[in-house]
Amino acid sequence: MSNDTKKIRVLAADDHALLREGIASLVDDQPDMELIAHASTGRDAMQQFRMHQPDVALMDLQMPDIGGIEAMIGIRSEFPKARIIVLTTYSGVQVSRALKAGARGYLLKGNIHRELLDAIRAVHAGRKYVPPEVAAELAEHVAEEELTGREIDILRLVAKGNSNKQIAGKLSLTEETVKSHITHILGKLEANDRTHAVTIALQREIFEL
């Protein structure tokens, strides 16, 4: 490849060595791209991004220490123009959160072999890459009401074992207001009770304990 045609420099962050190896073999086979670094944790991904400043980063959502969305927010606070493609087995709510955190692309792990290279090229060219089946699910979830910041604060306190009265005291609210917020939270998450709501919120990574 001539010097005036720069290769797309790629960072892969995933805690599964086999997946990183698969990505490496796909990327390194291409004349227009190269894998310059990889990471197996969220913190490592942030460090590798800082060191190498790749053109495109591939980011797993579920990693040890800190998750992909948190790592992505950290990277983009330092490098606002970072181009990141999320790799995951999840769709739905996760897509919306990843895109809000600044992901430029979203790739389901089962489709990596077919779609990875197109996704890297699209995102590098400044376009977004969201496969049709993910876009369809995203449209469904847009209709779902998201929790407000105040509702997340309340649910986080519920998760830590606080009663309505304690939550009211900590957030300078009336107990009635807290009850009303919790009713809204249960409705939005389609949860049966407070504990179920906390479980759903943690599964969806709405907050971390």
In order of start, what are the domains of the chain with their CATH numbers? 8-141 (3.40.50.2300), 149-203 (1.10.10.10)
CA separation for the pair 11, 32 (Å, rounded): 15
pLDDT for position 188? 85
Q: What is the pLDDT of residues 110-167, one digit of tens each?
A: 899 999 999 999 999 999 998 887 787 776 665 556 788 899 999 999 999 999 999 9
Q: Predicted confidence band at 55 (pLDDT cuts at 50, 70, 90)?
A: very high
Strand partners, 149: none
Sort strands 33-39 and 56-60 into parallel, antiparallel or unpaired. Answer: unpaired
CB 173 within 8 A of CB 167: yes
CB 94 within 8 A of CB 204: yes
pLDDT for position 62? 85
pLDDT for position 202? 86
Q: What is the pLDDT of residues 24-39, one digit of tens each?
A: 999 999 999 999 999 9
pLDDT for position 145? 62
For range 73-98, the mean pLDDT: 85
CB 170 within 8 A of CB 119: no
Closest by CA to 117, choosing from 38, 24, 6, is 24
CA separation for the pair 188, 30 (Å, rounded): 45
CA separation for the pair 59, 69 (Å, rounded): 8
pTM beyond cutoff 0.85:
no
The percentage of the chain sitting over the pLDDT mark of 70, rounded to a whole number, equals: 92
DSSP 65-85: SS-HHHHHHHHHHH-TT--EE
